[in-house]
Structures are given as structure tokens and as C-alpha cells.
Amino acid sequence: MAQLKVTQIKSIISEKQYQRDTLRSLGLKRIGQTVVRPDDAVNRGYVRTVAHLVKVEEID
């Protein structure tokens, strides 16, 4: 099953509360932190919501 490697690249300061909550749902707390999440519809939606704050790579 494919997975997504998500890295936070920008700060959440001055972002809307729902975007901050989305980053926390992904498990990201600080700039430069990376998490690996399953590639499913829920996580794709999270990434789309905060696309301007994260870098995403697909891994196998």
C-alpha cells in the first residue's frame, strides 16, 4: 500500500484555526518535522487543506 511522507515547511503562525487543527491531525507540530501516513482519501484531504504549509512525497 502506498504511503505519504508529509513534511511541514512553513509556520502555522497567522494561519486559520482549522488549518492549525489539520496539521495537528496529521501529527505535525513543528517546521521540519516529517510523518508517514497512509495514502487514503482522508489524508489526501488533510494535505489539500494545508498544501501551502507542507511538502508531500509518495513512498511505497
Domain range summary for the chain, segments of one domain joined by +: 3-59
CATH architecture of residue range(s) 3-59 = 2-Layer Sandwich (3.30)
**Residues of the chain under the 50 pLDDT cut:** none
pLDDT value for 60: 85
Length of the chain in terms of residues written: 60
**Is-above-0.75 flag for pTM?**
yes
What percent of the chain is helix, strand and coil (3-state, nearest 5)?
A: 30, 30, 40
pLDDT value for 1: 84
